[in-house]
Amino acid sequence: MLSNSLIELDRAHLVHPVASWQGHEARGVRLLQSAKGATVTDAEGRELIDGFAGLWCVNAGYGHESIVEAAAEQMRRLPYATGYFDLGAEAPIRLAAALAERAPGDLNHIYFALGGSDSVDSTIRFVRYYWHAKGQPGRDQFISVAQGYHGSTTMGAGLTALPSFHTGFGVPYEWQHKISSHYSYRNPVGDDPEAITAASVAELKAKIEEIGPERVAAFYVEPIQGSGGVLVPPPGWVKAMRQTCRDYGVLFVADEVITGFGRTGPLFACEDEGIVPDLMTTAKGLTSGYVPMGAVFMADHVYETIAEGAGAAAVGHGFTYSAHPVSAAVALEVLRLYEDGGLLENGRKMGARLMAGLQGLADHPLVGDVRGRGMLAAIEMVTDKAKKTPVPAELNAATRLFDRAWEQGLVIRAFANGIFGYAPPLCCTEAEIDAIVERTRKVLDLTL
């Protein structure tokens, strides 16, 4: 039982990320105390299926002793070694090599960060450095996609296109520009995949021309938009955007912080479209959330241009905890579980089952759209299917939907606009996937 004093301590001292500081005061904290596989147990002893893998990160599932052992062994032997200057440790080197071997194309150079936000932030610095090294320092403008999320550092929040990450922070974002999302369910050009892709290509070209092609540094894209509401682009969309960037000499950065490490089926979602970005960001599933870590992948030409530009001077970017050996040891074991432990394969099977199950909810009067790929999915509620009328505010209260699901023994992400997001651990069993779908139906019935 969660003691009142703990709730009071939380209210008084812990600042929760991305939460209403006022609402949080009123509601109090919801505490988890343990977890195993895809099940989490709350402070009252209630068992819930974690349909969101923590924050779309615990891809391997909870309670893997071999991961705990890998961390403990590394901590005992060498808990810390800096990667600064020319120092290092074995685990990060082995991890970088293993990732380069599995990455699309020539993404052979890995910079380790602490999570997704600082991975994205690092790419902004690398991209700027790249263009300086190329003798084109005027390329300092960045383009990303509406409804996109790329973290909340001072620079990265500029690429993020969710209003609460900008409003009130007073940061100048003149260097960043947005094009519309592909959002197939509510796209003004309709739901024809080719028309959506053609419209996005035209908009990206127009945006580059408007800014001036010689000023555009990079275009950032999530292969599937996560925090914007799990928005899945039509097949070929990512490839077409990649080609457009190539045509203009603009760097293409794939943000795979959510989609990486088996979330959509393959190890990286770029593989779904057979594309090779110039840079790629990952985090979350890299260590399955057991410890923090992010990884920036750079193509040969990006790394070599920066290396040549810097010459003998140090490239002044890095953190004390970059390439942390404990995080690297964990990531190596997580990678082994994905591959030899069969988690990627199980995730692919369970992803197909999840999508089929959620499609089965399409007959529900409140379900307007079901979308997803692999173990990443969403349903969008409407009150009138023909008109796609968004649910009214009283049904739309994300916290209420979240609470209702919790009461049914299910953790989902309830987005503010009547969207339920799903990203269960790849270790889910068939029974757990079926329970996610059944419990969702109950939540929908209770919401009618």
Give the binding site for ligand PLP (CB under 6 A): 115-117, 120, 149-151, 222, 226-227, 255, 257-258, 283
Between residues 117 and 346, which has the closer beta carbon with respect to ligand PLP? Answer: 117
Task: Using alpha carbons, select from 378, 386, 383, 405 the residue that is nearest to residue 394.
Answer: 383
Smallest separation (angstroms) from ligand PLP to the CB of 7: 25
Quick one: which of 285, 302, 312 has its CA closest to 111?
A: 302
The residue (of 104 and 226) whose beta carbon lies closer to ligand PLP is 226
Phi, psi of 182 (to 5 degrees): -75, -25
**Residue 164 beta carbon to ligand PLP: minimum distance, rounded to whole angstroms:** 14
User: What's the CA gap between 363 and 95, in Å, rounded?
Assistant: 46
Residue 27 CA to residue 425 CA, distance in Å, equals 28
Question: Could you tell me the smallest distance in angstroms from the CB atom of residue 393 to ligand PLP?
Answer: 25
| Nearest position to ligand PLP, beta carbon | 116
Q: 222 vs 333, which CB is nearer to ligand PLP?
A: 222
Q: How far is the CB of 111 from ligand PLP (least distance, A)?
A: 15
Continuous H helices in 369-429: 393-396, 398-407
Q: How many Cβ atoms from other residues are within 10 Å of residue 131's Cβ?
A: 21
Q: How far is the CB of 255 from ligand PLP (least distance, A)?
A: 4
**Contact assessment for residue 247 and residue 271, using Cβ atoms and an 8 Å cutoff:** no
Report the C-alpha gap between 271 and 105 in whole angstroms. 10
Q: How far is the CB of 160 from ligand PLP (least distance, A)?
A: 8
Cβ proximity to ligand PLP, 104 vs 115, nearer residue: 115
**Strand runs labelled E in 222-261:** 251-255
Tell me how far apart the alpha carbons of residues 106 and 195 are, in angstroms, rounded to a whole number. Answer: 31
Which one, 226 or 390, has the nearer CB to ligand PLP?
226
Of 156 and 368, nearer to ligand PLP (C-beta) is 156
**Least Å from the CB of residue 313 to ligand PLP:** 29
Query: Is the CB of 115 or the CB of 229 nearer to ligand PLP?
Result: 115
- Find out whether 223 and 277 touch, Cβ atoms under 8 Å: no
Q: How many CB atoms lie within 10 A of CB 163?
A: 8
b/e sequence 378-403, b meaning 16+ C-beta within 10 Å? bbbbbbeeeeeebbeeeebbeeebbe
347 or 368: CB nearest ligand PLP: 347
C-alpha distance from residue 370 to each of 193, 313, 357, 376, 421 (Å): 16, 52, 10, 11, 10
CB-CB neighbours of 274 under 10 Å: 11
CB of 149 to ligand PLP, least distance (A): 5
Least distance in angstroms from the C-beta of 117 to ligand PLP: 3
Q: Please say which residue, 259 or 408, places its beta carbon nearer to ligand PLP.
A: 259
